[in-house]
Structure 1
Amino acid sequence: MLSSLSSTISRLNLFYPKPSIPYSLSSCLKTLKPQPIIPRWSPLHSLSTHSTSRLSTSLKPQLETLVSKDDLVVLGIETSCDDTAAAVVRGNGEILSQVVSSQADLLAKYGGVAPKMAEEAHSQVIDQVVQEALDKANLTATNLSAVAVTIGPGLSLCLRVGVRKARKLAGSFNLPIIGIHHMEAHALVARLIERELQFPFMALLISGGHNLLILAHDLGHYIQLGTTIDDAIGEAYDKTAKWLGLDMSRSGGPALEELAREGDAESIKFSTPMKQHKDCNFSYAGLKTQVRLAIESKNINAEIPISSASSQDRRSRADIAASFQRVAVLHLEERCDRAIEWARKIEPSIKHLVVSGGVASNQYVRARLDHVVTKNSLQLVCPPPKLCTDNGVMVAWTGIEHFCMGRFDPPPPADEHEDYMYDLRPRWPLGEEFAEGRSEARSLRTARIHPSLTSIIQASLQQQ
């Protein structure tokens, strides 16, 4: 991994503002005058001598016209999974537009995300979504300061659609481009909503593909306290909803949460995952197996939709849904409790726990985690539901934060070849693992394809 990291850093050749820019939300130079230094960012592509000279001639005048952070206008593009999203956000936090095109029909048809189908759906609507975001903001691409786009983690087929669109737009209008880590964006959007939220803080990021507990030291500096060793909570919600014959058109989570309100959460005694492991990692594969066996024991037929189920059958399904949700969230609570204890040993000053990601829209999850933070004398920060699920606002805002630190790439060539190999990062860790939280699970060892975002940025800072 060290050789990979060294290679990643050595091949970069970016221009950034002077390294004296402070790490704070309010910092952005009055005039950004780039000069070549060792880079602090992992770009969308390897840069050649030609591309760096192009930055100094064509991009520098554009950057010098930026008078303050508030004047920045960034387009964010998100296509990491099944939602095609774009938004325009101003540097002062004003959301000028937000557009999301969902793939509800495909989710219902396949019972989850089918990568190839999702890619085709993204390709069909990406141009329309981006144009609608610009139109709703009453802007054109010429009014933008930069384009931010998710480059990982996520489904590579889906990521490629967003990156291709972002590079085409940035190249055509000579705009800087900012590659965004999807999970960092989920964490940082809380700083857009809660402007008093300062580093350091804790974050629990929960979605269909991820369970992540982090300590956010600073922008680009994260410690991973815990992650999933197999399935994420959102995936467990979706699978359980599918097995219970629920409506998958708006994903399984909301449908299961709704049905669970009718059930008895204590009726089925599912075992809480990983009780014997005193760490902060997550596992939902075993709970899924327990749920499947319970469904089989009650002879529930998923082919019969919940809307057509008998009253007794519906009651059985509701009991399973409620019992599953209680234990699934209890697993979150126990891990968060321990993570708070660990985080305070590292950063005693933390005051906030951010909970974000698609599952953070679940009101039962929010209520239970609010109990955890209150018990630990912390404050819970949850973005509104529309900013918890995948969206372009979080990408644009994270782009603004990094742009003010000088972390961006120059405009791609306007005539970039169709076969250009994009730097996509389907498996891309956000932070380095906390020593006490390391797991020997094989899935964790094999997942580290790319060096973490934190290791790349911190290593490049040390070389300055």
Structure 2
Amino acid sequence: MLLTPEHMGLANFGPVPPLPGSRLAQPAFCGFALKNSRETSPSSLSLPRIGGKMAAFFVSSPLSLSRSPLLTNLFHLTKSKPLVSSSFALPRRHPSSILQNYPLRSLSPSNFAAGAHTSTALNRDDLVVLGIETSCDDTAAAVVRGNGEVLSQVVSSQAELLSRYGGVAPKMAEEAHSLVIDQVVQQAVENANLSENDLSAVAVTIGPGLSLCLRVGVQKARRVAGTFNLPIIGVHHMEAHALVARLMDKDLQFPFLALLISGGHNLLILARDLGHYVQLGTTIDDAIGEAYDKTARWLGLDMGRGGGPALEELAREGDENSVKFKIPMRQHKDCNFSYAGLKTQVRLAIESRNIFTDKSSLSSESSHDRRVRADIAASFQRVAVLHLEDRCERAIEWALKIDPAIKCLVVSGGVASNQYVRSRLHHIVKKTGLRLVCPPPSLCTDNGVMVAWTGIENFLVGRYDPPPPANEPEDFMYDLRPRWPLGEEYSQGKSEARSLRRARVHPSLTSIVHGSIEQQV
């Protein structure tokens, strides 16, 4: 495989065209530095020499590792981590010029010479990051200062679409994002009393999520970053849910245990450091938020503000012990979740009681019918949360064995705004001596603040990409990661019954960061 100067890009930064035979033809933004080395490269590749020096390929951040077609080809050739010789420079962290001339306005190949590191300190007050979130059904943007000050937050909800379609319709959600994304971002910047010229970087969710929706946010983020010559930071959606707790609680330090619960995810992770996560458990089928939404829909509740809040409200009127649902997976001694079976139990209970699920009938039904629905809602919620409690108790036990320094359990994600969930989990952590940390409800659901803050945390350790070009071609292939694990699985947490599809899953964030760090040592 010959890597020509054309493949590496002749400009300081530019899209790298896909190499012949590349399975993932996603462009990366790269530059190259000249290294005083005449060592031969691996036999499977030939690096160009410029002025008698070896050209060293540069990928700007660990999050770019798997995005580069060059590295992708090497990965498939070796069937393991990318082949790298001493003349093949893998991701370099913050070049000295970026921090010394902060905020970033210009870059040149000389800035990326091998070993370009710096200890220059940044003033957090001067760091201002725009965060953009479009992974599912909310269009959100926020501006956050490096010291944690939230300068603005704007969220455009798709409640009407949710109500009309009974859930998220990806194509409709994409169109809704496209209609409001410019207005949402502009309003966030204006509400912060700033202009784009005052920004230091742009952070955007690149996964996991719905590809159609992710694309809208990434396109907008790259337009802003390219127009104003700003670094861009790709953010993991679930990492953002976990790290936003550190924005609100300054005493929260690594390591900590996190339960991330939403419509699409159930995750128990041990957060050992930024970019270093151990997955103790996940769902083998449906997430708790999905179960809440389906139950609410079957009960005929108004889905306009989401099934979870509607069901939580109705459940307050019911008897949680009136309907006997089986608690999932009590015979499995791991930390994984399953809500598909509970959903089936609920559906059968509703059908056996001949409940009419036209949402317009809920307010006009008899008091008896309403009580029946409330009893089902309360009984479902009790068992759904008992399943969380079971898994959290075991996860706390495992986590303390792995790292006894853990002091906190963070609970975040959309379902974490449920007050019943919070109160039950508070009892669990109280028994174990840990402290429960929950972001405010407005920061549990999808928002731009969590994306901006995660961007800040990553920027401060040098994990970001250089500014994209101001004008990208229409056929540019964006780096979207709809299925992107956060951490590596804990050996005892693997489930033989796991039914999750494994095809087209992106390497985990943790493995990417570790791979980059290993190459720098």
1:57, CA displacement in angstroms?
Answer: 12
Question: Where does residue 330 of structure 1 map in the other structure?
Answer: 386
8 A Cα contact 2:141 2:153, kept in partner: yes
Q: When the two structures are superposed, what TM-score results if normalisation uses the length of structure 2?
A: 0.80
8 A Cα contact 2:146 2:456, kept in partner: yes
1:460, CA displacement in angstroms?
Answer: 1.3
1:325, CA displacement in angstroms?
Answer: 0.0
1:310, CA displacement in angstroms?
Answer: 1.4
Matches of 1:288 and 1:367, distance apart in 2:
23
Q: Kindly tell me: are residues 448 and 70 of structure 1, through their superposed partners in 2, closer, same or farther at Cα, counting changes over 3 Å?
A: farther
Which one-letter code corresponds to 1:186 in the other structure? H
| 1:238-257 equivalence runs, <5 A | 238-257=293-312
User: 143, 151, 155: which one pairs with 1:100?
Assistant: 155
Matches of 1:280 and 1:14, distance apart in 2:
44
Matches of 2:134 and 2:499, distance apart in 1:
25
2:235 aligned with 1:180? yes
Which one-letter code corresponds to 1:299 in the other structure? N
Matches of 2:365 and 2:155, distance apart in 1:
33
Q: Which moved more, 1:296-305 or 1:204-213?
A: 296-305
Matches of 2:373 and 2:471, distance apart in 1:
56
1:330, CA displacement in angstroms?
Answer: 0.3
User: 430, 450, 460: which one pairs with 1:404?
Assistant: 460
1:82, CA displacement in angstroms?
Answer: 0.1
Matches of 1:188 and 1:335, distance apart in 2:
21
Q: Kindly tell me: are residues 47 and 451 of structure 1, through their superposed partners in 2, closer, same or farther at Cα, counting changes over 3 Å?
A: closer
Matches of 1:71 and 1:430, distance apart in 2:
30
8 A Cα contact 2:255 2:270, kept in partner: yes
Question: Using CA pairs below 8 Å that are at least 6 residues apart, which structure has the higher relative contact order?
Answer: 1
Q: Which moved more, 1:341-350 or 1:444-453?
A: 444-453
| Unaligned runs of at least 5 residues, structure 2 | 1-23, 33-55, 71-87, 106-120
Give the helix-richer structure, 1 or 2: 1
8 A Cα contact 2:205 2:214, kept in partner: yes
2:287 aligned with 1:232? yes
Which one-letter code corresponds to 1:101 in the other structure? S
Matches of 1:73 and 1:117, distance apart in 2:
32
Matches of 2:295 and 2:365, distance apart in 1:
16
User: 487, 490, 513: which one pairs with 1:434?
Assistant: 490
2:507 aligned with 1:451? yes
1:444, CA displacement in angstroms?
Answer: 3.3
Matches of 1:355 and 1:297, distance apart in 2:
35
Matches of 2:272 and 2:430, distance apart in 1:
22
1:37, CA displacement in angstroms?
Answer: 7.5
8 A Cα contact 1:81 1:159, kept in partner: yes
2:352 aligned with 1:297? yes
Matches of 1:323 and 1:447, distance apart in 2:
36
Question: Where does residue 153 of structure 1 map in the other structure?
Answer: 208
Give the secondary-structure state (helix, strand or coil) at the position aligned to 1:191.
Answer: helix
1:445, CA displacement in angstroms?
Answer: 5.4
Which one-letter code corresponds to 1:409 in the other structure? D
8 A Cα contact 1:40 1:461, kept in partner: no
1:462, CA displacement in angstroms?
Answer: 1.1
| 1:34-433 equivalence runs, <5 A | 41-43=62-64, 46=68, 61-63=101-103, 67-305=122-360, 306-433=362-489
| Unaligned runs of at least 5 residues, structure 1 | 1-6, 16-34
Question: Where does residue 30 of structure 1 map in the other structure?
Answer: none
The C-alpha deviation readout for 1:89-135, integer Å capped at 9, x for no partner, is: 00000000000000000000111100000000000000000000001
8 A Cα contact 1:200 1:217, kept in partner: yes
Q: Kindly tell me: are residues 442 and 368 of structure 1, through their superposed partners in 2, closer, same or farther at Cα, counting changes over 3 Å?
A: closer
Matches of 2:148 and 2:185, distance apart in 1:
19
RMSD after superposition = 2.6
1:443, CA displacement in angstroms?
Answer: 3.1
1:317, CA displacement in angstroms?
Answer: 0.2
8 A Cα contact 1:59 1:410, kept in partner: no
Which one-letter code corresponds to 2:62 in the other structure? W
8 A Cα contact 1:150 1:179, kept in partner: yes
1:12, CA displacement in angstroms?
Answer: 8.0
1:425, CA displacement in angstroms?
Answer: 0.4
8 A Cα contact 1:39 1:460, kept in partner: no
Q: When the two structures are superposed, what TM-score results if normalisation uses the length of structure 1?
A: 0.89
8 A Cα contact 1:45 1:422, kept in partner: no
1:389, CA displacement in angstroms?
Answer: 0.3
The C-alpha deviation readout for 1:61-85, integer Å capped at 9, x for no partner, is: 4447994122100000000000000
Matches of 2:391 and 2:150, distance apart in 1:
34
Give the secondary-structure state (helix, strand or coil) at the position aligned to 1:212.
Answer: strand
8 A Cα contact 2:327 2:383, kept in partner: yes
